[in-house]
Structure 1
Amino acid sequence: MRIGYAPWGETLGELVDAAVRAERAGADTLWVSELHRSATVTAAAVAARTERARIGTAVALAFARSPLVTALEALDLDELSGGRLVLGLGSGVRRLIEDWHGQPFEGPVGRMRDTVEIIRLVVASAHTGEPLLHEGARRSLRMRGYRRPEPVRTRIPVHLAAVGPAMTALAGEIADGWISHELGSPRYLAERIAPGLAAAGRTPEIVVSACCSIDPDPAAARRAAAGTVGFYASVRTYADFFAFHGFAGEHAAVGAAFRAGLPPDVPEEMAAALTLSGDPEEVAEGVRAYAGTASSIKLAPPVHGLEPERTRRAQDRIIDLIGAL
């Protein structure tokens, strides 16, 4: 199983330094997110300072950019990294895409299908000078008279983030990989996700993302991870996920507190069940529990509700764990 890491930093320089340290420790893939920063710009900064590890976006927002811009950025990143890019794409949620980015969200599964097809077309053929034409139900491309230099690769891996069954099925059908959000469990992966991915008869890479909190005091580790659990629990979209793990009531309570402007109360057992949190031995065992079902694991430090120094300590402990693993 591949061991990957999502580096954190208050500054871009600090984030890149963490990526370099994680690569030296043995991280196979360095994953960068898109919320406070641009995923593609951050990926470029990490690619320029690293040598071996894959560079993955986990995730770039597929609907906030045109498919052409995404494809061109992917080609540039693949060139900059020497063929190390994994293009991870996500739909985001309606409020994020419509209110923050001013883009339509209707028909996300069909929109994602068109997006991936256009990206693959551009990556494969933009250097040939041939017309680039795609007529999709949600997104289209009509380009003539365009040519760019030959790329490092004419096929860049495209991974899709998915939570619901329809987007998960699409990932199994067309993507090179599937990426989870930062909460999960081996049982959820085996019972809910893996069957949906396998339905198309393909074997995409399965990337489990895990909020990882390590402390000699397991209770302290879980308190640090609780903010990330609360962040996801504030989103109605994840109701089925929490119900599967027996936390339907807690999910509703956290959501109500969030909407009332109150701090969420996340029980320790909720953080223990949905994150990799505890002392180093517990967390290492949690990582190993995914072997045989996941292809890769992406470890990320907790950030929600924490002072930067606490996230720094968490980051250092994860990088130490990667070296040990």
Structure 2
Amino acid sequence: MIRLDYQPWGESLAELADAARRAEDAGAGVVWAPELHRSAPIAAAALISGTTTVGVGTGVALAFARSPMVTALTALDLDELSGGRFRLGLGSGVRKLIGDWHGVPFDPPVARLRDTVAAIRAVIAGAHLGDPIVHSGETSIAVRGWRRPHAPVRERIPIHLAAVGPAMTALAGEIGDGWLSHELCPADHLAETVLPMLRRGSARTGNRPEVVVSACCSVDADAGLARDRARGVVGFYASVKSYAELFAGAGFAAEHEATVAALRNGAAADALRDGVPPEMAAAFTLSGTRDDAAAGIARYRGLADAIKLSPPTHGLAPAEIRAAQDAVIDLIRELA
């Protein structure tokens, strides 16, 4: 049985928390907070405030935009706030985002993420002990003469790593408590491309990360309307040059190239749906009728441990997003 997770949406933090509560009531296993328009830890705190039993994770927080010390203390606080329900999802982001938006080093990303995770784990495990906490590498810390005067709920908090490329995905297999995909990860791509990468990393250490697939889910009695709502999400990801192989493998190389060009020529990231035909939306999202979405979810059984569903948001008015969100939560209730 595959676990159904959910990524709530809300115009306000209060609405976000309410959506998490409704997803929990529907049977979701974990609710996840992304980081783009909000701070993932603050959004996760809102999700915690609205729920009582469901797991809560950052899906994902930017690993390099905060120091390992700040990230570790934030994770400890969120784990305490949630009563041990928190999981820390981290991702490297991309070079332009990390360098231009956050003004921090990105290269070398694989080694930097490896050391960041090691430093975070060291702080989480030892903050309450008062012993020196030292890690040296691309990311280094040396904490001496300090002790956190609060007992942790857990001395090891699960860390899930988001990864796309082969080296980063292998790293998730090697050291991650879990692996998180981005929103476009069809079942055949997971089976044929991603899982072999994860296994290569796992073979180094015997680690077995939880596999969490993310999927934009758009459900309506009118399958055409559902897929139309999902086009903006696909367009957003199709504007990223590094996803060329993903789209080419599914027969959409020309559409990907056109979308990259549209963004380069000044189109807003939320306005790239026009270059996404309905069949492209159907290939990369769980969109259509409830039966279509249920059948799409079933294709991940035996491949993934969980699937993180999220409503379409890009290029849609709030009322449309709310309708799409209600439909996904109803689907979780039927299937969980």
Q: Contact (CA 8 Å) 2:90, 2:160: kept in 1 or not? A: yes
CA distance in 2, matches of 1:231, 1:106: 24
Q: Contact (CA 8 Å) 2:16, 2:46: kept in 1 or not? A: no
* 2:293 pairs with one of 276, 283, 287: 283
Q: Which moved more, 1:143-152 or 1:65-74?
A: 143-152
CA distance in 1, matches of 2:290, 2:304: 21
1:258 corresponds to which residue?
263
* 1:273 pairs with one of 276, 279, 283: 283
Q: Does 1:316 align with 2:326?
A: yes
How many residues end up aligned between the 2 structures?
324
2:313 corresponds to which residue?
303
2:27 corresponds to which residue?
26
Aligned residue type for 1:114: D
SS in 1 for 2:4: strand
**What is the correspondence of 1:39-118 to structure 2 with a 5 Å cutoff?**
39-118=40-119
CA distance in 1, matches of 2:266, 2:142: 47
Q: Which moved more, 1:193-202 or 1:171-180?
A: 193-202
CA distance in 1, matches of 2:48, 2:235: 32
* 1:248 pairs with one of 236, 241, 253: 253
Shift of 1:279: 0.5
Query: Which ranges of structure 1 fall in alignment gaps of 5 or more residues?
Result: none
The alignment yields a C-alpha RMSD, in angstroms, of: 0.9
CA distance in 2, matches of 1:49, 1:305: 27
Aligned residue type for 2:305: S
Q: Which moved more, 1:172-181 or 1:44-53?
A: 44-53
Shift of 1:256: 1.1
Aligned residue type for 1:304: H
1:146 corresponds to which residue?
146
CA distance in 1, matches of 2:242, 2:68: 25
Deviations 1:197-219 (A, max 9, x none): 11223321000000110111111
CA distance in 2, matches of 1:311, 1:190: 30
1:225 corresponds to which residue?
230
TM-score normalised by length of structure 2: 0.95
CA distance in 1, matches of 2:208, 2:39: 30
Q: Which moved more, 1:259-268 or 1:127-136?
A: 259-268
Q: Contact (CA 8 Å) 2:92, 2:109: kept in 1 or not? A: yes
Q: Contact (CA 8 Å) 2:90, 2:159: kept in 1 or not? A: yes
Aligned residue type for 1:274: F
Aligned residue type for 1:93: V
Query: Which ranges of structure 2 fall in alignment gaps of 5 or more residues?
Result: none
CA distance in 1, matches of 2:256, 2:208: 32
* 2:302 pairs with one of 283, 292, 298: 292
CA distance in 2, matches of 1:261, 1:115: 35
Q: Does 1:185 align with 2:186?
A: yes
Aligned residue type for 1:247: F
Shift of 1:240: 1.4
Q: Contact (CA 8 Å) 2:17, 2:49: kept in 1 or not? A: no
SS in 2 for 1:317: helix
Deviations 1:160-210 (A, max 9, x none): 000000100000000011000001211000010111111223321000000
CA distance in 2, matches of 1:222, 1:290: 20
**What is the correspondence of 1:196-215 to structure 2 with a 5 Å cutoff?**
196-199=197-200, 200-201=202-203, 202-215=207-220
Shift of 1:145: 1.0
1:121 corresponds to which residue?
122
TM-score normalised by length of structure 1: 0.98
Shift of 1:67: 0.7
Deviations 1:73-116 (A, max 9, x none): 00000000000111000011111111111111110000100000
CA distance in 2, matches of 1:185, 1:49: 31
SS in 2 for 1:4: strand
SS in 2 for 1:211: strand
**What is the correspondence of 1:148-163 to structure 2 with a 5 Å cutoff?**
148=148, 149-163=150-164
Shift of 1:261: 2.9
